[in-house]
């Protein structure tokens, strides 16, 4: 069976999709990037905000059209949107043949077997994950599932359940397999990385997991994505300060800076504490890049609240910003604040103003790096290769264009001198090759860890 897979939403969804692909290949599925040739098309949906829901629905409609026109026998929808709106989708999208939510993933293989689309035999493709693309030098390692935070605007705990950390041995083994597949940069992801290990045996925490990953792989770059400020502790910060294979980069969502809004959001910290935390981090970790996420237009957000946020952003000068307009989510505590919802358009106007403030901050901070020498990873070859410094995360931040880099292969690590900057991107000249791209299986093995037999029930950490 030829399988097409469309993965929408966050990087955590990407990891889930790669695990689903491996589980289906274990029963004879052959992945194709050409969706018009696929006999089954699987869409891993996202339901985080309204725009993501719309993208998921539009994608499912498009896949339905492909089924009408081509060889596709079945369109399958899985993931967050299905978990949230299964009944509505079943009624509204008859072109979708199978809807499977997060809590029913163990049904996927048996259902496709029952329809004669999968081989009932197993072991046709041993392995835990199959990359969705040929771009294997940048990979993601999901270290936990679910979330224990009670943020008023977020429905993720309702879909994915409470926080569950994956066992350290399993994660080390998975990282070793990513390295063997050519990974040069591995991004650690979870709903909150700081909570890692709190539900495991004594001594298990993010810093100890990173130490194991450093000791038992040769992966050059580890990056930490999405870690709550309240969970940042000295052992982790000290490790980042002393170990350069953990790139000096933190994705630390604050969501707002007005104490009144933070309280209504049920966020764990207030402006004063956030200010102190940022100051401590920048003192402790040399050359630290800080990314944050901000939500505007939350119910009851006043002009004064928004000015507090803008003033805080101008004071702190985060290097990168992800920003959203509040989107009501069924089942969340924010729905009880419906009387305080802002009129349409106010959130969008505030978002535009916030982005303009951040554009100027980004331009100033990038201009200050001109003349510095940095490491960069090549993402695209060509006459002017496209790369990223350790201060630029994959797909969400800017890029670095490399002069004098013609002929560099994807996955090469270089030392480059920054020679120019604009609002979001850099230009640099290559000075040296730090590490050539991986060729085939790479990395040493200090311990031999088994390939773990993972079914789809393990995708979400059950």
Q: What is the pLDDT of residue 444?
A: 37
At CA 336, angle to CA 329 and CA 55, rounded to 5?
Answer: 10
Residues 285 and 391: their CA atoms lie apart, in Å, by 13
pLDDT digits (tens, 9 = 90+) for 237-278: 999 999 999 999 999 999 999 999 999 999 989 999 999 999
- CATH placement of domain 134-251: 3.30.750.210
Q: Which residue has the higher pLDDT, 118 or 310?
A: 310
Q: What is the pLDDT of residue 126?
A: 63
Distances (CA, A) of 75 to 6, 20, 97, 194: 11, 15, 5, 37
Q: What is the pLDDT of residue 447?
A: 38
Residues 332 and 338: their CA atoms lie apart, in Å, by 11
Band (104; pLDDT cuts 50, 70, 90): confident
Domain definitions of the chain by residue range: 2-114, 134-251, 373-435
Q: What is the pLDDT of residue 129?
A: 84
pLDDT at 52 over 60: yes
Whether the CB-CB separation of 391 and 443 falls below 8 Å is answered with: no
Q: What is the pLDDT of residue 127?
A: 67
Share of the chain above pLDDT 70, in %: 94
pLDDT digits (tens, 9 = 90+) for 437-454: 887 433 333 333 334 334
Q: Residue 276: which residues within 8 A CB-CB, separation 6 or more?
A: none
Please state, as a whole number, how many other Cβ atoms lie within 10 Å of the Cβ of residue 329: 22
Q: Across all residues in the chain, what is the average pLDDT? A: 90
Sign of CA dihedral 445, 450, 453, 456: negative
373-435: CATH topology: OB fold (Dihydrolipoamide Acetyltransferase, E2P) (2.40.50)
Residues 168 and 191: their CA atoms lie apart, in Å, by 17
Average pLDDT in the 22-44 region?
A: 92
pLDDT at 389 over 60: yes
> What architecture is domain 2-114?
3-Layer(aba) Sandwich (3.40)
Can you say how many angstroms the Cα of residue 141 is from the centroid of all Cα atoms in its chain? 9
Distances (CA, A) of 111 to 25, 81, 95, 103, 321: 15, 19, 17, 15, 42
Q: What is the pLDDT of residue 125?
A: 65
pLDDT digits (tens, 9 = 90+) for 129-157: 888 888 899 999 999 999 999 999 998 89
Band (462; pLDDT cuts 50, 70, 90): very low
At CA 42, angle to CA 41 and CA 47, rounded to 5?
Answer: 135
Number of alpha carbons in the 13 Å side-chain half-sphere of residue 408: 32
Average pLDDT in the 410-415 region?
A: 96
Residues 140 and 11: their CA atoms lie apart, in Å, by 7
pLDDT at 280 over 90: yes
Q: What is the pLDDT of residue 230?
A: 87
Q: What is the pLDDT of residue 246?
A: 97
């Amino acid at each position: 069976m030829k399988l097409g897979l469309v993965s929408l939403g966050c990087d955590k969804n990407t990891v889930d999709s790669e695990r689903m692909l491996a589980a289906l290949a274990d029963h004879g599925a052959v992945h194709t990037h050409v969706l018009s040739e696929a006999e089954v098309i699987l869409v891993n949906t996202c339901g985080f905000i309204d725009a993501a829901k719309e993208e998921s629905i539009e994608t499912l409609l498009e896949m339905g059209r492909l089924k009408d026109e081509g060889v596709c026998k079945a369109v399958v929808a899985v993931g967050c949107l299905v978990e949230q709106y299964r009944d509505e989708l079943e009624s509204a999208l008859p072109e979708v043949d199978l809807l499977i939510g997060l809590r029913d993933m163990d049904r996927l293989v048996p259902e496709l077997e029952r329809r004669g689309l999968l081989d009932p035999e197993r072991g046709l493709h041993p392995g835990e994950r199959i990359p969705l693309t040929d771009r294997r030098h940048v990979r993601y390692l999901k270290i936990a599932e679910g979330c224990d935070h009670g943020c008023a605007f977020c429905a993720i705990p309702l879909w994915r359940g409470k926080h569950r950390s994956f066992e350290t041995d399993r994660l080390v083994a998975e990282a070793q397999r990513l390295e063997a597949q050519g990974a040069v940069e591995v991004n650690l992801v979870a709903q909150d990385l700081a909570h890692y290990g709190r539900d495991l045996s004594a001594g298990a925490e993010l810093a100890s997991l990173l130490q194991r990953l450093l000791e038992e792989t040769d992966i050059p770059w580890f990056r930490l994505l999405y870690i709550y400020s309240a969970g940042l502790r000295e052992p982790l910060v000290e490790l980042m300060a002393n170990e350069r294979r953990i790139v000096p980069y933190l994705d630390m969502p604050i969501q707002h800076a007005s104490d009144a809004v933070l309280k209504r959001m049920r966020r764990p910290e207030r402006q004063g504490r956030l200010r102190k935390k940022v100051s401590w981090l920048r003192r402790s970790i040399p050359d630290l890049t800080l990314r944050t996420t901000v939500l505007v237009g939350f119910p009851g957000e006043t002009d004064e609240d928004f000015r507090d946020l803008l003033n805080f952003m101008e004071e702190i000068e985060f290097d990168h910003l992800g920003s959203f307009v509040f989107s009501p989510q069924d089942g969340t505590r924010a729905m009880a604040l419906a009387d305080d919802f802002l009129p349409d358009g106010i959130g969008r106007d505030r978002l535009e103003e916030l982005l303009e403030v951040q554009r100027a901050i980004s331009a100033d901070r990038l201009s200050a790096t001109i003349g510095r020498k940095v490491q960069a990873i090549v993402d695209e070859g060509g006459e002017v290769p496209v790369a990223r410094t350790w201060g630029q995360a994959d797909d969400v931040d800017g890029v670095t264009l490399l002069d004098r880099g013609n002929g560099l292969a994807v996955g090469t690590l270089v030392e480059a001198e920054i020679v120019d900057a604009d609002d979001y991107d850099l230009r640099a000249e290559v000075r040296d090759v730090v590490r050539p791209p991986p060729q085939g299986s790479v990395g040493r093995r200090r311990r031999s860890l088994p390939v773990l037999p993972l079914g789809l029930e393990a995708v979400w950490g059950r």
